[in-house]
Amino acid sequence: MAEIPALIHGQEAYLSITDVFDFLRIKNSPSSGYDSIMGFFIRPEETFLIDGTVNQIVFHDKVFKLKPDDLIRTESGLYLKVHCFGEVFGLNCLFNFRALSVTLTTKLELPAIREMKLAELRRNISHLKGEIHTDTIVGRTYPLFHFGAVDWSISSTQQLQSESSTRFNLAFGGF
């Protein structure tokens, strides 16, 4: 689960292409003005180019023409309509307007999923070997008694035609 910038226009959702690909660990490089994004999908030979100036995506040597409202360019990024992720890249996205969420499903083994599987395998191997990772205990770095705190007070009671009293309290503290 991740929070990814999105735009909502009517009942349609648009996801930030660079943020989706960064989350999925797909190599991508946007142009300086966010006119286009290029990179490779899973393997270096599977290059793609998303060109916002001509509204098209080139992937697997195929050209996917996009409708004018399938791609939105802003100052901070390039946004693609959620159904286009599935049609072009096989990243099927289902937008739930009520929950303002997008569920992504795919049959591909994405780099992010591969990394999670490898981490789980490493944890299982350490568990099978009997390696235990415990919390550490931080030892005391200060003395038991430290006379750095002094508290004092003076109180005086005076009454007419009676005895007056003055009290002085002094207390040392340690921490």
User: What's the confidence (pLDDT) of residue 48?
Assistant: 92
pLDDT tens digits, one per residue of 32-67: 888 899 999 888 888 999 998 899 999 988 899 999
Is 174 part of any domain? no
User: What's the confidence (pLDDT) of residue 116?
Assistant: 87
Is 25 part of any domain? yes
pLDDT tens digits, one per residue of 92-101: 999 988 888 8
pLDDT tens digits, one per residue of 3-28: 888 889 888 899 999 999 999 898 99
Is 47 part of any domain? yes
Is 172 part of any domain? no
CATH code of residue 20: 3.30.457.10
Is 23 part of any domain? yes
Give the total number of structural domains in the chain. Answer: 1
Is 55 part of any domain? yes
User: What's the confidence (pLDDT) of residue 159?
Assistant: 80
Q: Is the pLDDT of residue 143 over 70?
A: no
Q: In degrees rounded to 5, what are phi and psi of residue 20?
A: -65, -45
What is the domain extent for residue 58? 6-108
State the pLDDT confidence band at 134, using cuts at 50, 70 and 90.
low
Is 137 part of any domain? no
Is 149 part of any domain? no
